[in-house]
Chains A and B, each alone.
Chain A
Amino acid sequence: MRLSKTELILLGVAVLLAAGGVIAPQWLVFLLTMALAKAMVVQGVVMQMRAGLVTFGQGLFFCVGGYAVGMSGHFLNITDLALLLLIGVGAAVLLAMLLGLLMTRYREIFFAMLSLAFSMILYGVLVKSSALGSTDGFNVKAWTLFGWTPASGQAPLALFIIIVACSGLLAVLLHRYSRSSAGMMCEAIRENEVRVEYLGQSPRWVLYMNYVAAAAVSALGGGFMALSAGHIDPEMAYWITSGEFVFIALLGGTAHVAAPFIAAILFAVVRTYAIELVPHSWQMILGFTLLAIIVFLPKGLWSLFTGQARRAKA
């Protein structure tokens, strides 16, 4: 496979980031791991945003990914990280294939609300399941990788390197996807769905593929979240969690595959300091940031890098 310049840069950054993890303080390594896991879910949100759909329920697949990982460890005694993540993604894909049949009929606000409803139904089911710890959730078992068990204290760093590698790979794939026929067709649907139909293309089929792919990517994030935090609870499917993903997606913008990663990291850093410095009003800071982005940087932080902000104003 031949790599373009952008893809080489993306992989290069991943290598640098992984190397940086070795010297960075542990809390930062953990923060970055969580941020990257979230960024994967945000990628799922962004994929749909590019097709003109805003989901207030991506937490659904985040949660499914996380719970599939946690439950496979808990009930099936599977500890292999790769297998666990695969199960998580597989579960989300199955669910998305089912829900996608219905979801692709809806657009705009109805899509947003219905996605929210499904996510909240899962939340309700989990809260009801005392075998899964109800709202308390349960702890996820320690992972292994192809027979290797990380020594105590090494797991966070090892997981960080793995998630950075996966993120790098994912970034390349998503970059390709965004320029592929399917990816461009998503943008075309956002711009003018009727025309797409009249070009002989089924918008629903494209959106369906996109929905399932976005679910898979988000579930991967959920799986990583479960493994790194070591705990899962129904909060993952709560609509506030999904709202946060939309927030980060807007923060980064949809222009480049790197944007959600950067936005997620920035968000994590800003929030952790906001919580520490102004524990009573960090939500307000987030709110004003969001408004400022919508008003001044409608295409997200990424437009700072490309100068699109000025073009958009001109």
Chain B
Amino acid sequence: MMSLFAVLIDGTIYASWLFLVAAGLTVIYGVMRILNMAHGSFYAIGAYAAASLVGWYFNNGVGPVWAGYLLMLGCALVAGLIVGLIIERGLLRFMYGRDEVLMVIITYALLLILEDTMKMIWGVNPYFAYQPYAEMGRSALAGLKVSNYDLMLVGISLVLGLGLWLWLERTHQGKVLRAVIHDREVAMAMGVNVRRMFTLVFVLGTMLGTLAGALTAPAISVVPGMGVEVIVLAFAVVVIGGMGSIEGAAVGALLVGLSRAAAVHYAPEFELFVIYGVMALVLAVRPQGLFGRVLARKI
């Protein structure tokens, strides 16, 4: 009973983290049809930016604790804004209209470049910025000790997911975006500035990636290569949910999170396969993912 409860809690926490990581990936794919391999690097950049700045802030006792949290979020968003703009304006906009798979390879090249760029900026030594994680303390939920920071992640993830969904479904800009998703040519003909939409969405996706990294940074040690580890996981979540779908990413994250937690508690030896197993299973039954749409070709 206890472990079933623990599975639910652990699964939810892990799922909310997965959703944070996958949200940016799925937003970018949904609108721009770019499966961004460099998304993991955005995550790492966010983590590095937060860890180095927050670490400096607390180690030198610069200011109050709450400001440290703001600093953490702020620097992630700024890093995302800068990186997203540079990449979209400086590289991707020259590539639009190319084959989807070629775009994957372009972002793979980006990944290689960003990995070494990060190494140049931050070196290979681990960064530690545990204060935001440690400061929040812990709660006991039915005898299970849970970090408050992790619970906060669940909240942030919910708010972000809901916000994204509302933005897409309820605002004018969201409607325009959906028009772009539905039919790029028609949207363009209707006077939508698709290029500007692309810039907006790419920067937003990048910022989601860096935000996920920044929020994770306090709980881990930020090391080179962390982005590469994350990207395949995020892919799996997005593919399971249906590429380009926010609801899909949320459901995919929950599915993966809960199955993984269940495996950890009941059958640790299968933990390594759970994610790919779920992915292969979902794809075999629903090739387009749980919330993916099938686009029949007109002839």
Are A294 and B105 in contact, with the CB atoms below 8 A?
A: yes
Range, interface on chain B:
35 or more
CA distance A282 to B119 in the complex (A): 12
Q: Contact at A291–B106, with CB atoms within 8 Å? A: yes
Give Cα distance in the complex from A280 to B122, angstroms: 13
Q: Is the CB of B284 within 8 A of A102?
A: yes
Question: Which of B35, B112, B239, B272 has a CB less than 8 Å from the CB of A284?
Answer: B112
Contact A116 B111 (CB under 8 A): no
Q: Say whether A290 faces chain B, with CB atoms less than 8 Å apart.
A: yes
CB of B276 within 8 A of CB of A124, answer: yes
Interface residues of A in 59-102 (CB under 8 A from B): 102
A86 shortest CB reach to chain B, Å: 29
Provide the residues of chain B in CB contact with A125, threshold 8 Å.
273
Chain B 244-299 interface residues, beta-carbon cutoff 8 Å to A: 269, 272-273, 276-277, 279-280, 283-284, 287-288, 297, 299
Which of A108, A194, A280, A290 lies in contact with B109, CB distance below 8 A?
Answer: A290
Given contacts A108-B101, A290-B112, whether A116 and B235 have CB atoms under 8 Å apart is yes
Q: Using known A-B contacts A114-B280, A121-B277, A284-B113, determine if residue A294 contacts B102 with beta carbons closer than 8 Å.
A: yes
CA distance A288 to B115 in the complex (A): 12
Instruction: Give per-residue flags for A231-259: 1 if the beta carbon is below 8 A from chain B beta carbons, else 0.
Output: 00000000110010011001000000000
B232 adjacent to chain A (CB < 8 Å): yes
Which residue of the partner chain, among B100, B228, B280, contacts A240 with CB atoms under 8 Å? B228
Q: A124-B276, A128-B269 are in contact. Are A109 and B109 (CB under 8 A)?
A: no
Chain B binding surface SS class: helix
Specify which chain A residues have a CB less than 8 angstroms from the CB of B35 in the assembled complex: 109, 113
Give me the interface of B with A, judged by CB distance under 8 Å.
35, 91, 94-95, 100-102, 104-106, 108-113, 115-117, 119-120, 228, 232, 235-236, 239, 243, 269, 272-273, 276-277, 279-280, 283-284, 287-288, 297, 299
Known contacts A110-B283, A290-B109; 7 additional CB pairs below 8 A are A109-B35, A118-B280, A239-B232, A280-B119, A284-B116, A286-B109, A290-B105
Please list 16 pairs of residues, one from A and one from B, whose beta carbons are closer than 8 Å in the complex, sorted by A's number: A54-B105, A109-B101, A110-B288, A117-B276, A124-B273, A124-B276, A194-B299, A240-B228, A243-B108, A286-B112, A287-B111, A287-B112, A287-B113, A288-B113, A291-B91, A291-B109
* A interface with B by C-beta (< 8 Å): 54, 56, 102, 105-106, 108-110, 112-114, 116-118, 120-121, 124-125, 127-128, 194, 239-240, 243, 246-247, 250, 280-284, 286-288, 290-291, 294-295
